[in-house]
Amino acid sequence: MADTASRPASPEASRRSSKKESQSLLLGRYEIGKLLGHGTFAKVYYARNVRTGEGVAIKVIDKEKILKGGLIAHIKREISILRRVRHPNIVQLFEVMATKAKIYFVMEYVRGGELFNKVAKGRLKEDAARKYFQQLISAVAFCHARGVYHRDLKPENLLLDEHGDLKVSDFGLSAVSDQIRQDGLFHTFCGTPAYVAPEVLARKGYLAAKVDIWSCGVILFVLMAGYLPFHDQNIMAMYKKIYKGEFRCPRWFSPELTRLLSRLLDTSPETRITIPEIMENRWFKKGFKHVKFYIEDDKVCSIVDDVDADGASSASSDQSMSESDSEVELRCRAPAALPRPASLNAFDIISFSRGFDLSGLFEEGGDEARFVSGAPVSKIILKLEEIAKLVSFTVRKKDCRVSLEGSREGVKGPLTIAAEIFELTPFLVVVEVKKKGGDRGEYEEFCNRELKPGLQNLMLEESAANSSYLPSDTE
């Protein structure tokens, strides 16, 4: 029997093979591999540059989804930010390409995974934690010098390369200095709950650089302790701890580290430690070698140097965006300063964050439910009255307490619900809802069909109202 493998392929088989090969190549340049992860608007794949053999990560964004969501300016801002921050401890953006349906971010592939996975196995030794913290501060200092503020620093957004060096990633919630309002502050309520600074909760406006420093402090604590400094199963209780700065260092922390953390996690932004002060700190400086770097042929080259942290020098080049002949219908070049899209309000930004979605703002358990809101108490009470009217409930009010009573007699009497509003910070309140009487099934149905959607709509309305008066060049 003849060996079929030695037979020449038919013309039809050759055409199929050629078509399959061309389909596996993205714009004729990248061979797409396994899926690394995905989100609401994007998927991330491992890929190989067929010209150089270099492994990269490609973030594929569905253009139709972001256009419908009004997020094209948000994507452009992210591109602009990534082009500003080319540093050895920041994940690089190599190029951006687009077709009629997709936008492609070609990025550095970081093989070591998330720092979070390392911490999840237990606390780190002091020298290892110090090294990661030094690299984090080096990257954050560079970002701030370039007018970029991350605003969502956490171990999940810190990656490790094959050499064990830290790489800051995910600049999706970042802001640039051009977005600062006339009062010199940022006002967007965003971040991940356990790592968010108290002044962000206060909603009075904040210095983004100081917010990043607070997050760095939480990260350092987590690396050294193996758990969060401000932790509670109840998100409202955790917010109170953050707002008051209530945390305790474990006994294995050295006095120098404890003092540094007390400066990093200072609830007052005015007295919180600065980047230059961190770099002069005795605990931080131990074994610190500053990295001088420059850019050559689109690759970051670095030289370890013993110079002082302030002696950093960096070359920056505008990374050109690629397009592939007729397939590309859009250049994704982003200007240095980008306007805030009208549809991207605080509610949208909160929803983008994995750790800060609506499920974390509305907690349910048994006969109780809690809701976090930035709306005034008067508006919350009006919303409760509006919800009650829809289902023909009687409303009784006293100060910050509202009682809702159903007119229908159930098996266990009429459904009666008590709502009480507590002030978490001057600009953030908690609505606590309890079943006082009636059938539990009826109570759960009321919460899911009327109460929860109504209170979430209130948050959306409030966020839209707060953003409607902002000039177009703000955040």
Instruction: Count CB atoms within 10 A of the CB of residue 344.
Output: 19
Give alpha helix (H) positions in 307-345: none
Do residues 70 and 352 touch, judged by C-beta distance below 8 A?
no
68 is known to lie in a ligand binding site: no
Do residues 137 and 107 touch, judged by C-beta distance below 8 A?
no
Give the integer Cα–Cα distance in Å for 105 and 98.
Answer: 9
Do residues 214 and 201 touch, judged by C-beta distance below 8 A?
no
**The total number of residues written for the chain in this structure:** 475
Strands (E), 78-230: 93-98, 102-108, 148-149, 158-160, 166-168, 175-176
**Residue 308 known to be catalytic:** no
Backbone angles phi, psi at 102, to 5 degrees: -130, 155
User: Amino acid letter at 452?
Assistant: K
Structure tokens at 64: 């139709």
User: H or E element: which one contains 401?
Assistant: strand 401-410
Strands (E), 207-298: 290-296
Do residues 78 and 171 touch, judged by C-beta distance below 8 A?
yes
Active-site pick, 152, 212, 266, 348: 152
Q: Which residue carries 């997709």 as its tokens?
A: 102
Give the integer Cα–Cα distance in Å for 212 and 217.
Answer: 9
Structure tokens at 395: 């409303």
Burial of 132 (0-12, 13-18, 19+ CB in 10 A): buried
Q: Which residues are annotated as a binding site for ATP?
A: 59
Residues tagged active-site = 152
Q: Which residues are annotated as a binding site?
A: 59
